[in-house]
Structure 1
Amino acid sequence: MSNSDSKPRRQLRLGLFVQALGHHVGGWRHPEAKGSPTDIDWFGWIAETAERGGFDMFFVGDALATSVHRLPSTMSRLEPLTLLAALAGRTRHIGLAATASTTFDQPFHLARALASIDHISHGRAAWNVVTSFSEGAARNFSREDLPSHADRYALAQEFLEVTHALWDGWEEGAIVGDKARGIYADDDKIHPANHRGEHFSVEGPLNIARSPQGRPVIIEAGSSAAGQRLAAQTAEVVFTAAATLEEGQAFYRSQKRLVAAAGRNPDHLLVLPGVMPIVGHDRAEAQRTWEQLNQWVDIDNGIQQLSARFGFDLSAYPLDAPVPEVGEVEGGQSRVRLLTDLAAREGLTLRQLAAVAAGSRGHRVVVGDANDIADDFENWLEQGGADGFNVMPAVLPGQLELFVDLVIPELRRRGLFRENYEFDTLRENLGLPSVAENFANLRPLDDEHA
């Protein structure tokens, strides 16, 4: 595809989804792979390279238990908010986003930590709001089991209400700093939360002044019905997974419709599906990289991953038979549906689905040269499948360097990606309005829009 029209085009928003050893399960075994999941200098290089490419966000996920799959990137990891604080001093423009769960934390603690990072980074913080679905995480937080899916989302809704009240409790201009009159702060512009709810009781006010963005950018990744409803009312960016453009379009339309029903401008919530681009200088090189990576896929590991997601042990089922039927699951419902739909649509055996789960963790893979990747991204943007992408390099450093050096220039040539950062804050660089404007007309979703 090419752009012969001189008028300004919609531009892609790009996040970099960071796994220290690459996203492909076999990526760490690549001869040119480098890095350590606990090396701050390695993360610094990743963030600096992403900033060189103009990425909107550096995003790091999290889990509150050691992975049952024993994947190298998830067995040992730095605490994400600590990592973001360290990276704030090594970068100047790129947004800094991290996952933090509402299931086992407290609103005051997390609101304070995220406001601190927004201050330290001069307005570049973002929070990926998740609910935990790991039984192992529950046992690490003195629980024998998890709340139900519905209860976890109800708790998340209240958690967000409290954090928003704490952040909004400090008005602009609350810090006066009037030395002549001896007045440091205007008490009339600092308000307690005074929250008394089913799950939390928080007085406030927060003990840190309003941050540069007012609130960090709020990201959510739940694609279940409950997750979409929560995002419609509270999120500014949504991470999702879709195997085909048709699936992406369906989710995109559904999420934007819910945002409009909640009284918000649909353009003020960005949908960024995850995608693993396998980039080569030409198509043959990209294909060789993909085939080489798949030689290192451990089918047993894939079966473990599927078992954890599906909620029952798949090791007793024949690998070359169809995928067993999966009933209702309590956690990760949207990813389970994506995997089972993929298996049904393509007639995959259990072995083949396990390879997909192990290799790309259920996200879409695009293999090709810079033009192929740009064609794909452009098509999804123009056909209403995405506002941008959460890019998942399969191998580091190689695949990130190829994306920055080959794909980004091609996207810029087509007018699909900005040349430089234009603003100081993440919210502005994403094209999002102020917090007050984004949520000015918010209203509850009725049953018709469930």
Structure 2
Amino acid sequence: MSQRKLDFGIMLNGPGSHMHAWKSKEVPNDASTNFEFQLEIAKKAEEAGFSFLFVADGLYIHEKSIPHFLDRHEPLTFLAALAPVTKHIGLVGTISTSYSEPFTVARQLATIDKISHGRAGWNVVTSPLEGSANNYSKGKHPEHDIRYDIAEEHIQVVQGLWDSYEDDAFTFDVKNDAYVNKQKMHTLDYKGQYFNVKGPLNASRSEQGQPVIFQAGASPKGQAYAAKYADAVFTLGESLDIAKSNYDSIKAQAVAFGRNPEDIKVYPMLVPVIGKTHEEAEARFDEIKSLATIDDALDYLGRYYDHHDFSQYDLDAPFPELGEVGQNSFRATTDAIANRAKQGNLTLRDVALEETARRSPFTGTYEEVADLMIEWFEQGAADGFIFGPHIYGEIYEAFLTEVLPILEVKGYFTKQHQGHTLRENIGVPYKENRYSKSVITH
């Protein structure tokens, strides 16, 4: 029986990850903004033992965007609403470093961390869609690698501001008229190429020290950023070999940055299609695929390429050579698509339909999917998974009631949360204050 346990997060993505999940009879059509529906998903995940929920986001839409992206909650407001009506599950939200101010981000996340008693997390993104620049007054969308240079300064500022006060700075000492020990209050005075921030932040530290840092960049620059700063990383879950390669790369780079590899957790995406039998799983997958037409699929594919128009190409010709198109958007994803198309001699039709409803390796019976997750875990490809089904309906319920109990019986999962804070529950250390004596002496 395993001593280590699998760990799970859940993506709150409206009706599901499929572009037309909203059409399914299994979910309300307005699921992306239906708070009661999403709260029910979150509470079920919490009760089942999930460690955190995760809210994705984007800053640019147009008429061909995924329908339920056209109207969805802003992550931090949403998480603040969830904080007092949940007790154990971590609250992770996406915020762009390219289009936000570090001081504001630090303050917002610190507030959620305090309200939730140490359950906040930040999914750091650089915003891949070039159209995002049209919604902000910052000029041209930064090039891919420059976005990560900006992100590096951004997180340095935010984490520096989170250390504005040492843990015991606030004394509330009425007798001596001392609300705070000002010797334990620190001004950041950050001066960089992209940000100049004085501080201090008007927010004390939380029960976990600082919010947990999540990162999902899959490009070499993104992986290096994750290895240096992240506590948890989301990776692609296309196959065991790819997942293990990503896992090993991130852990090795973390060591190169002087970190303990156990202090950074790796979560491949889990988009299972499950059933009592193979036939039931295949029937569910066929139903999911039927939700999108080929025109829908072309629009979905275009999003990865900053909404490139794929309708101009021959559907049944080989996938087109696109040159630099997509290189400043979802670079790792578009590179992977091009490689798969070339290796498999795929047509544009093949690629578009495949991307809209990709067959997950976690397709099969409940026992088979549970065993495959254990294999990935034991082979060093995952510390856990982030669960984001095509549709939040029957598959979600079956995962909770059928798959998780199998993992629990086999000793690879427990529904008991490991502690009160997000850091405790995913097994990463308390974030010590850089000004405390314990840190200075190291």
Report the counterpart of residue 71 of structure 2 in structure 1: 76
Q: Is the 8 A contact 1:241 1:364 kept in 2?
A: no
Give unpaired runs (5+ residues) of structure 1.
1-5, 442-450
1:354 corresponds to which letter in structure 2? A
Q: Aligned runs of 1:44-443 on 2, under 5 Å? A: 44-67=39-62, 69-310=64-305, 312-328=308-324, 329-360=327-358, 364=360, 366-436=362-432
2:408 corresponds to which letter in structure 1? R
The DSSP-based 3-state class of the residue aligned with 1:343 is helix
Q: Is the 8 A contact 2:94 2:125 kept in 1?
A: yes
How many residue pairs end up in the alignment? 432
The DSSP-based 3-state class of the residue aligned with 2:15 is coil
**More displaced stretch, 64-73 vs 266-275:** 64-73
Counterpart CA distance in 2 for 1:372 and 1:263 is 38
Runs of 4+ in 1 over 6 A off after TM superposition: none
Taking only the aligned residue pairs, the percentage that are identical comes to: 38
2:17 corresponds to which letter in structure 1? H
The DSSP-based 3-state class of the residue aligned with 2:206 is coil
Report the counterpart of residue 15 of structure 2 in structure 1: 21
Q: Is the 8 A contact 1:274 1:364 kept in 2?
A: no
Counterpart CA distance in 1 for 2:172 and 2:143 is 48
Task: Give TM-score scaled by structure 2 length.
Answer: 0.93
Deviation string 1:357-400 (CA, Å, 9 cap, x unpaired) is: 2224xx84522221121112111111121111111121123222
Call closer, same or farther: CA 1:387–1:326 in 2, change over 3 Å: farther
The DSSP-based 3-state class of the residue aligned with 1:380 is helix
The DSSP-based 3-state class of the residue aligned with 1:403 is helix
The DSSP-based 3-state class of the residue aligned with 2:310 is coil
The DSSP-based 3-state class of the residue aligned with 2:32 is coil
Q: Aligned runs of 1:3-18 on 2, under 5 Å? A: 6=1, 8-18=2-12
Deviation string 1:310-338 (CA, Å, 9 cap, x unpaired) is: 35432222111221224341121111122
**More displaced stretch, 384-393 vs 33-42:** 33-42
Task: Give TM-score scaled by structure 1 length.
Answer: 0.92
- Alpha-carbon distance, 1:273 to partner: 1.1
Call closer, same or farther: CA 1:437–1:291 in 2, change over 3 Å: farther
Deviation string 1:229-276 (CA, Å, 9 cap, x unpaired) is: 111110011111142111111111111110000000111111111121
Report the counterpart of residue 445 of structure 1 in structure 2: none
The DSSP-based 3-state class of the residue aligned with 1:222 is coil
The DSSP-based 3-state class of the residue aligned with 1:396 is coil
- Alpha-carbon distance, 1:68 to partner: 5.2
Counterpart CA distance in 1 for 2:420 and 2:397 is 25
Call closer, same or farther: CA 1:98–1:365 in 2, change over 3 Å: farther
- Alpha-carbon distance, 1:29 to partner: 2.0
Call closer, same or farther: CA 1:107–1:61 in 2, change over 3 Å: same
Q: Is the 8 A contact 1:15 1:389 kept in 2?
A: yes
Q: Is the 8 A contact 2:166 2:433 kept in 1?
A: no
Counterpart CA distance in 2 for 1:117 and 1:417 is 28
Deviation string 1:267-297 (CA, Å, 9 cap, x unpaired) is: 1111111121112233222211111111122
Q: Is the 8 A contact 1:299 1:355 kept in 2?
A: yes
Counterpart CA distance in 2 for 1:382 and 1:401 is 26
Q: Is the 8 A contact 1:112 1:207 kept in 2?
A: yes
Deviation string 1:72-123 (CA, Å, 9 cap, x unpaired) is: 2211111100000111111100111110000010000000000000001111
- Alpha-carbon distance, 1:129 to partner: 0.1
Counterpart CA distance in 2 for 1:51 and 1:284 is 31
Q: Is the 8 A contact 2:209 2:432 kept in 1?
A: no
Q: Is the 8 A contact 1:228 1:255 kept in 2?
A: yes
**More displaced stretch, 54-63 vs 298-307:** 298-307
Call closer, same or farther: CA 1:364–1:192 in 2, change over 3 Å: farther
The DSSP-based 3-state class of the residue aligned with 1:99 is strand
The DSSP-based 3-state class of the residue aligned with 1:117 is helix
Provide the alpha-carbon RMSD of the alignment: 1.9
Q: Is the 8 A contact 1:310 1:326 kept in 2?
A: no
**More displaced stretch, 258-267 vs 25-34:** 25-34
Q: Is the 8 A contact 1:18 1:59 kept in 2?
A: yes
Call closer, same or farther: CA 1:185–1:437 in 2, change over 3 Å: closer
Q: Is the 8 A contact 1:299 1:358 kept in 2?
A: no
